[in-house]
């Protein structure tokens, strides 16, 4: 073989093997190179597969939070108010500009000279918050964003965290006084337990309902140790006695009492109060509908409908008297000039077996063969008004409007 030809062939083989090996190697390692590509952290960057430290601008303002940008206040009472002061210092070499951004609590930025923080100077940022509610999670977080002209930190987020507790609870958590006699009044006793302190004092209280209720009052006295021991984890407690004095006008009432206690954070306890003052005199009977438009009166409508003159009709009302004056109250019919064919009879009072009320039965009769008449109201005739006088000190009358018509059938 020609020597030149031999060396030429050898060169071709070697070159081909190099190319094939290089491609094989790159194919083999390319997956690994991709698989282990580094995820770069702040301040680092990649150039041609080589990780180098990124250039950081050493010139300009620098925002630095002295002591850290997060503050853990530990625990605080629900509805308690706290505040914390953060300090932001300019550790750069140019003026630092600060501006309030979004916030979930009250955020106050101290005055800036010329609107800027000069190098090595600082500014105070006060966060103030109120722990209003306890959610399913007791963890509490509030924050405020401070925007800056720091090229490396455009926003500083200041955060306060902690746990919300309520050391005082009312058992029950609302006062529902139910139906209360207008001339007797009512009383309800709730228990206030403290689970955090051996001493519980009610520093003050106020009613915050939409309408002032002069007859409503509240008082407090310590709960006996043996009663406190029945409540899990309770350390001390106070009875809260809510009283509604006699004389309150009839109708539903709603109120809220806010208690300020002696515990840390001066926690406030809000307790709703509700009830209904009912008249000591009420009217019952088939076809009778009470008129509640005027809570100071006892009145309503009795509808007898169409009455056949050949049959007549009898209805009965019960005027029920309760309260402190039930045994002394007497009724009499005041209405005069009633239709001849409408007969009213008032029976003697009859106490109920339980002694809580006295019934005054009123019989209303339209006799057989009564003359035709219409008292259905409106253009069909004016109803007949029955007015009863009472000896009750507050409720002097009972008014019943009777609607009916007599037809020959």
Both tokens assigned to 232: 């899990």
What pTM was estimated for this model as a whole? Answer: 0.50
Tens of pLDDT, residue by residue, the chain (409 residues): 554 554 455 454 444 554 444 443 333 333 323 222 323 333 344 444 444 454 555 789 999 999 999 999 887 877 778 889 999 999 999 999 999 899 888 888 887 667 799 999 999 999 988 876 555 567 888 899 999 999 999 999 999 998 887 788 888 989 999 988 877 889 999 999 988 777 888 889 999 888 889 899 999 999 999 999 998 888 899 999 999 998 787 788 999 999 988 877 656 788 999 999 887 899 999 999 998 777 667 899 999 999 999 999 999 999 999 887 889 999 999 998 899 899 999 999 999 867 888 999 999 999 999 999 999 999 999 999 999 999 988 788 999 999 999 998 7
Structure tokens of 68?
């850290």
Domains of the chain: 63-165 (2.60.40.10), 168-278 (2.60.40.10), 281-407 (2.60.40)
Which pLDDT does position 350 carry in this prediction? 92
How far is the C-alpha of 167 from the C-alpha of 269, rounded, in Å? 10
> What is residue 166's predicted lDDT score, i.e. its pLDDT?
74
Q: What is the maximal distance between C-alpha atoms in the chain?
A: 156
Q: Give which of 363, 329, 328, 372 is closest to 345, Cα–Cα.
A: 363
Identify whether the C-beta of residue 171 lies closer than 8 Å to the C-beta of residue 190. Answer: yes
- pLDDT for res 132: 65
**How many CB atoms lie under 10 A from the CB of residue 160?**
22
Please tell me the distance from the alpha carbon of residue 404 to that of residue 303, in angstroms, as a whole number.
Answer: 6
CA-to-CA dists, residue 392 to 92, 132, 140, angstroms: 86, 48, 58
Q: What is the pLDDT of residue 260?
A: 87
Q: How far is CA 329 from CA 31, 193, 284, 322, 365, in A?
A: 103, 44, 17, 9, 25
In whole angstroms, what is the distance from residue 344 CA to residue 388 CA?
A: 11
| Pick from 83, 87, 80, 112: nearest CA to 97 | 112
Tell me, what's the pLDDT at 183? 75
Helix (H, G, I), strand (E, B) or coil at 26: helix
DSSP 37: P
Question: In the prediction, which pLDDT does 164 show?
Answer: 80
R_g over Cα of the chain = 43
Quote the DSSP letter at residue 96.
Answer: B
């Amino acid at each position: 073989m020609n020597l030149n030809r031999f060396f030429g062939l050898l060169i071709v083989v070697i070159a081909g093997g190099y190319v094939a090996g290089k491609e094989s190697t790159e194919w083999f390692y390319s997956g690994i190179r991709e698989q282990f590509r580094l995820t770069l952290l702040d301040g680092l960057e990649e150039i041609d597969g080589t990780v180098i430290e990124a250039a950081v601008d050493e010139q300009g303002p620098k925002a630095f939070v002295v002591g850290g940008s997060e503050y853990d206040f530990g625990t605080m009472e629900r509805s308690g108010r706290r505040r914390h002061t953060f300090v932001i210092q300019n550790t750069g070499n140019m003026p630092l500009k600060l501006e309030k951004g979004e916030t979930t609590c009250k955020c106050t930025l101290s005055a800036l000279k010329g609107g800027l923080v000069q190098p090595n100077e600082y500014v105070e940022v006060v966060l103030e918050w109120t722990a209003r509610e306890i959610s399913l999670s007791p963890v509490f977080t509030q924050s405020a964003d401070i925007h800056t002209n720091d090229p490396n930190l455009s926003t500083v987020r200041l955060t306060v965290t902690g746990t919300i507790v309520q050391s005082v609870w009312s058992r029950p958590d609302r006062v529902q006084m139910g139906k209360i006699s207008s001339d007797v009044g009512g009383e309800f006793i709730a228990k206030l337990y403290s689970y955090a302190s051996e001493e519980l004092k009610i520093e003050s209280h106020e009613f915050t309902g939409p309408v002032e209720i002069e007859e409503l009052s509240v008082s407090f006295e310590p709960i006996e140790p043996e009663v406190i021991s029945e409540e899990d984890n309770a350390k001390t407690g106070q009875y809260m006695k809510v009283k509604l004095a006699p004389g309150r006008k009839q109708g539903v009432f709603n109120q809220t009492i806010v208690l300020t206690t002696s515990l840390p954070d001066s926690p406030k306890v809000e307790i709703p109060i509700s009830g209904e003052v009912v008249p000591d005199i009420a009217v019952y009977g088939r076809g009778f509908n009470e008129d509640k438009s005027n809570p100071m009166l006892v009145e309503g409508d009795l509808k007898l409908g169409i009455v056949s003159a050949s049959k007549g009709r009898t209805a009965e009302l019960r005027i029920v008297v309760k309260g402190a004056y039930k045994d002394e109250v007497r009724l009499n019919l005041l209405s005069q000039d009633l239709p001849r064919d409408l007969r009213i009879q008032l029976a003697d009072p009859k106490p109920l077996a339980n002694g809580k009320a006295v019934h005054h039965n009123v019989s209303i009769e339209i006799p057989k063969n009564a003359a035709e008449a219409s008292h259905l109201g409106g253009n069909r005739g004016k109803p007949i008004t029955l007015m009863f006088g009472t000896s009750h000190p507050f409720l002097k009358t009972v008014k019943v409007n009777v609607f009916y018509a007599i037809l020959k059938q």
